[in-house]
Structure formats: C-alpha cells, structure tokens
Structure 1
C-alpha cells in the first residue's frame, strides 16, 4: 500500500493573471483527487525533488527564453531534466496541445524537443482524431469546459448583428480574413475583435484593415476574463477563422458562454458539432467569405439553437479522475508501482 502522496510534477509554474485557464482548472481538478500532491514547476522542484510523474504541456517553453543567454541556461537545465527522467525511470506524460514543432526555433531547441518526444511514456490527446505514431502509447482526455471558470463574470446583452473574435491574435488565427469578410457585409452590423497581437507588425496590419469601417471595434490588448466574457456574450456569433484548428480553447469558451460559433470544417469540428449540438457549431470549407458570414447570421435568425450546448462530457471532475488514471497507467508502462 502506498504510504506517501502520489506526486505529480507539472511543467507550468504557479499561475499568474495571464496563465491559460486550462492549466489552472486542470491543476484544481487533479488536486481534488484523493492521495495526490500536485507541484507547480520550478527548476528546483523538477531537478532536485522526488515525484512520480512529470507532466509536460508545451515543452518548447522549457527550452526557449527571451534572451540568448536565458535560452542557453534553460536548455542546459532541460538536458539535466531529461537525464534525471531517464536515469530514475520517471514517466514523462505529455498533453498534445500542438502537433507540430513551433516555427522559428533553433537547431539546439529542435534537438531538445525531439528528446522530450522520444522520452515520452504516454501521450494525452484532447480529441480522438489526433494523429500519432502507430507505436505511441496514448489516451484521450477531452478539454474541460469553462462554465465554472466564467460563472462569476457579468454577461452582456446580445447585440443583434454583432460578430466577435476573441483570443490571442496570431498569423495562423487569420483575423485578417474575418475583417475582410465582414467588410463586405451590408447593413447595420458590427464586428468586435479582442486580443493581443503577437507582433507589432500584425497589430498594424489589423488596424490598417479596419481603419475606415466604423462598424469594427478593436481591443488589441490582453483581455481580462471580464472583457472576454463581455465580448463573447454581446455577440450573436463568435467567429474563429483559424487556418488550422485542432484543439481550440476559444471554441469551448464561446460554447461555455452559450454563444454559437463559426469555425473551419474538419473532422475534429464535425465531431464537436455532433457532441454539443449542430446548431451551436457552424462550419465552413475553404476560405472564410462574406457570403459565409451572411448565410450563418441568417441561419441563426431563422433557426436559432435552443437551450445550451451539451458540454456534459467535459466536466472537470471527470477530467481530473482520468488524468490521475493516466499517470498511474504511465507508471505501469514503465514497470513501476502505480
């Protein structure tokens, strides 16, 4: 019988105001499991303390830095961490938030990320459509909803004809396409875009596309939860026009706030539509067009969704239980007591 807590070392540090809510809710759900100790990340914890499982989410964060010197120090510490995991046979569990290596990384960073990949004992996918190597050990644990997270935030009255985008603004999220498509819409409509651009150049591009259309409101900054909820709930339709969409916390945030979404059509999003209700998840193929926006708004007015999206499969209690079982499974895969 285990006489000490089951210790899980996470790869994310003590949460801050800008921390991704997913990892905060995950930490709370895991901590609620009996007999468990969850530790936030520090290099001291990771390298010097004892734990049963190391759980990494975005390994690139461990090997990159704001300056070349900081990056080099982190890379050296990452090598030491990998050596510790290998020598002590500590299972490495990885959640597959992203399937591809990030752009713009160095050869050394790429090499370290490949080492993390090779040392991974168990992969957690957020949907069953995730493609992995045939020999990979994997389990699916779906992304939990945001209903509890946003429960205390004030809602706005829905504005007829309001289209919205919220979240970090990056090239692949394709906000420019949404602005171009919206500008072609006639009539008394409005578009609200909220989120921090990844570069000053991208911010300037978004501003230039919007400057002569007073129906477009830009809030190009990091959004507080209250601001995000305000933008989402004031919208008749939330549009997330990503060039590639595999796991979208933004989609779940909109659905958690009972707002229909328009997102790219793919296998993952078709499954989500079947899960939560087809009238809540509208999809488009190819490029986002003015005609697609106009058609979707018309569909919402003539045949709106009823009730709330069905997010019953995404309760955090279940997510926490499934993570603990995944950690124990990873130890069994390494031939260790669970």
Structure 2
C-alpha cells in the first residue's frame, strides 16, 4: 500500500524567539521527518489553503490573537467559526495534543462554544503521559526534554536558593509560594520569582506580598532563554507551587538543567519521579507550606546522580510518532467517508 504523505496545518504560527520551546522543537522535528509537510497557522492558510489534517495544541490561542480591542476579538472569533464550518463540511481530521485536561477558565461564553466545537471535531488525541483520560483514539507521545534547547551559560548553584520560573498564572499558586516562604525561619534561604504575569492585578498581588522580605527577588516579565538558564541553575531547588498540575514543561526544563524540583503530589509526578531516578522530584500535598519547602530542600541536598534519566524523552522519534498519528487519523476519516458514500 502506498504511504500517505499528509500536509498538516498546525495551530501555531511560525516559531519566533518567544515561542514555547516545545512548539519550536516539535515543528523542527516534524520538518526533519520525511513524508510530512507542515503548514503553520494563519487565517488565510486555514480558510483557503490546502491541508489534509489539522493539529491543535492550545486552540484558545487561535481565538486570542485579536488583541485587547473588542472589534479585533470579534473578527478572530468570526474567522475561527468559518474555519470550524470548513472543517465540518470537508470532514478534515483534527488531531489534538492534550496539554491541559480542562477548558481554560478565563474564556467568554462565545469562546467556550468555539472550543467545544473544536473538541467535537477532534478525531485523534495525543497525550503527553499515560495518566491523561480522554475519549479515544488516543496515542501517548512523551514531552521531549530541553537539553538541546537551553544551552546558555549555567550559574553555580547558590546555597539556599529557591527559584520559581515560568508564566505566572492564578492556578500556579505563586502567591501561596511567597506567603509560605515568608514563614520560613531560616534567614539564609532566598527565593526568586521570574516570569511574565498573566494580569497586572496578579503582578501587583505578588509584588505586594513580597514587599518587606529582602530574601525575595521578583522579576515579572518575559524571561529570555539565557536568563532562564541562569536563574534555574543558580537554584538548589526549583519550586513549582501549582494548585493543579497535569503536564508541565517547566518541570522538564529544570530537570534538563540538572536541578531538582518541588511540585504537587500527583500520579503524573510520581511516574516522572520513578522514570528520572531518585532525588530529582520532590512533592507536597495540599497547600504549600514552609515546612514542605524546608523538608524538600533538605532532601534535595542528599546525594543523587549527576543528571536525571531523560532517555525516554529524546526528540529523535517525535516526528515519526506524530506522522503515524496523522496517517491513522486520515485513514480512519477516509474509511468513514467511503462507508458513508461521501467523496474523498
């Protein structure tokens, strides 16, 4: 049987310096893979271009590309609705990588309806770990490491340094981290907060909570890769105080830079701890406390391997694994169309 060489419309625009590294590395891996052609997102390409399969990551980013003006948002929502009509009429297979298990909480009613429409059209889901539950067909393709991405100069670890990096959003619990750290009695410990806040109100809250404690350094804004490397490697322990965590690229970023992580006690993190080896993943249950921070730091100081085992997360086979999913989704849709007597 002749192999299908699909043309894939991906939901991200052409990668730039500020693009999520996962997206950039996956786009590069796909473009190195024989037998697949990648088209990055634009509304002209989506509405009028030729493609065989759509691959979504965070579909809400398509809806949010209209800026803050209401007129711009309405235009984008209208264009997205037209895209959904096209996908429905043409029965184009939709593949979705399930980075998050729930719809975003901060979307409008109209956005929610459009996102639910994307969900109904999804014919194959890619999950990043075996714990993600969603309707089938489902394929697990593990999130790759960042060892080849974060290559900037490393800092020597500073004794007692704790660090949070990444986007600052409500569900990530950074406010709770600052409050818990302020209760830490050990004056030799320091805490860094670095990353862009999702709202100015959240930024103001974190800055206010940190005021008056000279041990806390707050840097709220875009964090270039080299600055992220410097911040993470300066830490003895990276602290991710999420109220909810399912998949986290930041955990893998810290591990790729050979730094241990304190993260919520979840089944996914327990699996990751077993995968990478002892001493790298430390967990807390419930709300983060000063006691949990001090206990994790003490444990992180115990002997461990020089680097975590990330051999299961190489990028070499990511392109082929995704191509297999695209072909399966396309073959299944064509078979369904033939059975229904619909031209393909």
Query: Common fold, TM-score beyond 0.5?
Result: yes
Q: What's the counterpart of residue 190 of structure 2?
A: 190
Q: What's the counterpart of residue 149 of structure 2?
A: 149
Q: What's the counterpart of residue 88 of structure 1?
A: 90
Q: What's the counterpart of residue 21 of structure 1?
A: 21
Structure 1 runs of 4+ with >4 Å offset: 1-5
TM-score, normalised relative to structure 2: 0.93
Structure 1 residue runs without a partner (length 5+): none
Cα distance in 2 between the residues matched to 1:29 and 1:53: 17
Matches within 5 A, 1:172-191: 172-185=171-184, 186-191=186-191
Cα distance in 2 between the residues matched to 1:4 and 1:175: 47
Q: The residue matched to 1:74 in structure 2 has which SS?
A: helix
Q: What's the counterpart of residue 32 of structure 1?
A: 32
CA 1:299–1:106: 2 relative to 1, 3 Å:
closer
Cα displacement (A) at 1:5: 4.8
Cα distance in 2 between the residues matched to 1:112 and 1:222: 29
Q: What's the counterpart of residue 269 of structure 1?
A: 269
Q: The residue matched to 2:334 in structure 1 has which SS?
A: coil
Q: What's the counterpart of residue 238 of structure 2?
A: 238
Cα distance in 1 between the residues matched to 2:115 and 2:188: 49
Cα distance in 2 between the residues matched to 1:37 and 1:331: 14
Cα distance in 1 between the residues matched to 2:127 and 2:227: 30
Q: What's the counterpart of residue 157 of structure 2?
A: 158
TM-score, normalised relative to structure 1: 0.94
Kept in 1, the 8 Å contact 2:172–2:242? The answer is yes
Q: What's the counterpart of residue 203 of structure 1?
A: 203
Q: What's the counterpart of residue 113 of structure 1?
A: 115
Cα distance in 2 between the residues matched to 1:304 and 1:181: 26
Cα distance in 1 between the residues matched to 2:168 and 2:63: 23
Query: Deviation per CA, 1:250-276, whole angstroms, max 9, x where unpaired?
Result: 100000000000000011111111111
Q: The residue matched to 1:212 in structure 2 has which SS?
A: coil
Matches within 5 A, 1:184-333: 184-185=183-184, 186-301=186-301, 303-333=302-332
Q: The residue matched to 1:198 in structure 2 has which SS?
A: coil
Kept in 1, the 8 Å contact 2:280–2:300? The answer is no
Kept in 1, the 8 Å contact 2:4–2:327? The answer is no
Cα distance in 2 between the residues matched to 1:33 and 1:104: 36
Matches within 5 A, 1:56-67: 56-64=56-64, 65-66=66-67, 67=69
Query: Deviation per CA, 1:79-131, whole angstroms, max 9, x where unpaired?
Result: 22122222222210011111211123222221111111111110111111012
Query: Deviation per CA, 1:292-330, whole angstroms, max 9, x where unpaired?
Result: 1111111122x2321211111111112221111111111
Q: What's the counterpart of residue 168 of structure 1?
A: 167
Query: What number of residue pairs does the alignment pair up?
Result: 333
Cα distance in 2 between the residues matched to 1:290 and 1:73: 47
Query: Deviation per CA, 1:42-100, whole angstroms, max 9, x where unpaired?
Result: 11111111112110111112223322212221222112212222222221001111121
Cα distance in 1 between the residues matched to 2:103 and 2:247: 15
Cα distance in 2 between the residues matched to 1:240 and 1:104: 21
Q: The residue matched to 1:282 in structure 2 has which SS?
A: strand
Deviates more, 1:209-218 or 1:238-247: 209-218
Kept in 1, the 8 Å contact 2:239–2:261? The answer is yes
Q: The residue matched to 1:191 in structure 2 has which SS?
A: strand
Matches within 5 A, 1:94-133: 94-133=96-135
Cα displacement (A) at 1:4: 8.8
Q: The residue matched to 2:162 in structure 1 has which SS?
A: strand
Q: What's the counterpart of residue 77 of structure 1?
A: 79
Q: The residue matched to 1:324 in structure 2 has which SS?
A: helix
